[in-house]
């Protein structure tokens, strides 16, 4: 995918917030995320974008997980925004409470964000999240999807791709990796609630990520943004490759970029430079068992089917609007 550089240099437009000196650095230096952590970058990009779009008036509620643990080891804290943490599974509910409190104080201009990992969002926090959507609470929920429970040592979550190796889905004789379960498509679950805005985004396309968060933060009611954030430790690739891996996921169709309004697909980003799923999977050790001497083409077909179905369902072919 030919994206432009962060300053927009090569296309002379699209300068990102991240390229500007005026960015807020909402998540600042000294945090304890691993080298090359995609989640740390994704969070700074998303929260900076929200900060910018809401003229600095934001409050962030964080679920337990890597992001929370690496950003706040008491008494040190890496957040340059009002930030609070309660539990693993209740970020959506706490954020709802914060929004209600601000509302009752008449502070309608302060925008509320809840954020957490894929486990916090799609698994343990699903009840609270669904409730928040159901009530259409005025909260933007951002999920940083690194496709496993990273903070506790890479256990499978509902968003772990089929066949990926995790600490709890180890390849063995009968199965090449995790049992191909259906998994949870959290963006689709959010869309099923017909909330005003749902989007997927990736650190492989910062322009797009910033645009979506900036838009979402100023919509009243429930919003959901699902951000793809590769994890070098859990996925097993070189720390320098985080952005590249994110970009490849978009290009092969396994991570579709789209927006939905009130439950309906509104826009999607066409894949400019399509690649095969192998190009994306091969550099990651979590898929190593799909290649080499024990490889079976059926396993790859499972993933290829997902990519192809995404391309069709989200209209990622060249004709989609972008």
CB-nearer residue toward ligand TPP: 86 or 308: 86
Contact 31, 70 (CB under 8 A): yes
Nearest CA to 140 among 53, 51, 213?
213
Q: Going edge to edge, which strands form the sheet with 139-145?
A: 83-85, 58-62, 111-117, 139-145, 223-228, 197-202, 258-261, 264-268
Q: Determine the length of the chain.
A: 322
Q: Is 230 in the site for Mg ion (CB under 5 A)?
A: no
Contact 257, 250 (CB under 8 A): yes
Q: Residue 165: CA atoms inside 13 Å, Cβ hemisphere, count?
A: 17
Tell me, residue by residue from 62 to 81, as one string, x for binding to ligand TPP by CB under 6 A and - for no binding: --xxxx--------------
Contact 252, 277 (CB under 8 A): yes
- Which of these ranges, 72-80, 177-185, 214-222, 312-320, lies near other proteins under the rule CB under 8 A? 72-80
E-assigned strand segments in 69-179 = 72-73, 76-77, 83-85, 111-117, 139-145
Q: Is 115 in the site for ligand SF4 (CB under 6 A)?
A: no
Contact pick of 17, 27, 37, 201 for ligand SF4 (by CB under 6 A): 37
Q: Is 169 in the site for ligand TPP (CB under 6 A)?
A: no
Tell me, residue by residue from 147 to 166, as one string, x for binding to ligand TPP by CB under 6 A and - for no binding: --xxxx----x---------
Q: With CB cut-offs between 5 and 8 Å by kind, which of other proteins, ligand TPP, ligand SF4, none does residue 242 bind?
A: other proteins
H/E stretch holding 298: helix 297-313
Query: In sequence order, what are the residues at sequence separation of 6 or more whose Cβ sits closer than 8 angstroms to the Cβ of residue 129?
Result: 92, 121, 141, 190
Contact pick of 58, 62, 67, 74 for other proteins (by CB under 8 A): 74
Q: With CB cut-offs between 5 and 8 Å by kind, which of ligand TPP, other proteins, ligand SF4, none does residue 116 bind?
A: ligand TPP
Rounded least distance, CB 148 to ligand TPP, Å: 6
CB-nearer residue toward Mg ion: 14 or 157: 157
Contact pick of 84, 87, 168, 241 for other proteins (by CB under 8 A): 241
E-assigned strand segments in 158-277 = 197-202, 223-228, 258-261, 264-268
CB-nearer residue toward other proteins: 206 or 227: 206
Contact pick of 103, 215, 244, 267 for other proteins (by CB under 8 A): 244
Q: Is 257 in the site for other proteins (CB under 8 A)?
A: no
Contact 61, 94 (CB under 8 A): yes
DSSP string, 260-288: EETTEEEEEPPPSS---HHHHHTT-GGGG
Contact 274, 252 (CB under 8 A): yes
Nearest CA to 201 among 211, 215, 189?
211
CB-nearer residue toward ligand TPP: 126 or 270: 126
Q: Closest residue (Cβ) to Mg ion?
A: 117
SS3 category, 189: helix
Tell me, residue by residue from 88 to 117, as one string, x for binding to Mg ion by CB under 5 A and - for no binding: -----------------------------x
Tell me, residue by residue from 223 to 262, as one string, x for binding to ligand SF4 by CB under 6 A and - for no binding: --------xxxx----------------------------
Site for ligand SF4, rule CB under 6 A: 33-34, 37, 39, 66, 70, 146, 150-151, 231-234
* Residues at the interface with Mg ion (CB under 5 A): 117-118, 146, 150
- Residues forming the site for ligand TPP (CB under 6 A): 39, 64-67, 88-89, 116-120, 146, 149-152, 157
């Amino acid at each position: 995918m030919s994206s432009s550089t962060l300053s927009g240099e090569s296309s002379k437009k699209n300068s990102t917030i991240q390229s500007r000196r005026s960015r807020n650095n909402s998540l600042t230096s000294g945090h304890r995320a691993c080298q090359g952590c995609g989640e740390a970058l994704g969070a700074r990009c998303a929260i900076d974008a929200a900060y910018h779009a809401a003229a600095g008036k934001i409050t962030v509620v964080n679920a337990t997980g890597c992001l929370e643990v690496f950003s706040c080891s008491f008494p040190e804290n890496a957040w340059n925004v009002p930030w609070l943490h309660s539990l693993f599974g209740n970020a959506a509910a706490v954020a709802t409470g914060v929004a209600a409190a601000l509302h009752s104080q008449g502070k309608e201009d302060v925008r509320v964000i809840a954020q957490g990992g894929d486990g916090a969002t799609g698994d343990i926090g699903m009840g609270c999240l669904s409730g928040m959507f159901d009530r259409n609470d005025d909260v933007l929920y951002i999920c940083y999807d690194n496709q496993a429970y990273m903070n506790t040592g890479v256990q499978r979550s509902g968003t772990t791709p089929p066949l990926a190796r995790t600490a709890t889905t180890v390849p063995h004789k009968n199965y090449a990796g995790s049992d191909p379960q259906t998994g949870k498509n959290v963006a689709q679950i959010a869309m099923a609630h017909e909330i005003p805005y749902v989007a997927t985004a990736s650190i492989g396309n910062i322009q797009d990520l910033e645009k979506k968060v900036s838009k979402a933060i100023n919509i009243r009611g429930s919003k959901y943004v699902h951000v793809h954030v590769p994890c070098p430790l859990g996925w097993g690739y070189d720390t320098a490759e985080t952005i590249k891996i994110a970009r490849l996921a978009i290009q092969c169709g396994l991570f579709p970029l789209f927006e939905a309004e009130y439950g309906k697909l509104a826009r999607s980003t066409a894949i400019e430079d399509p690649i095969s799923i192998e190009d994306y999977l091969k550099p990651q050790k979590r898929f190593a068992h799909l290649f080499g001497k024990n490889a079976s083409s059926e396993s790859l077909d499972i993933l290829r089917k997902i990519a192809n179905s995404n391309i069709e369902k989200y209209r990622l072919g060249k004709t989609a609007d972008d």
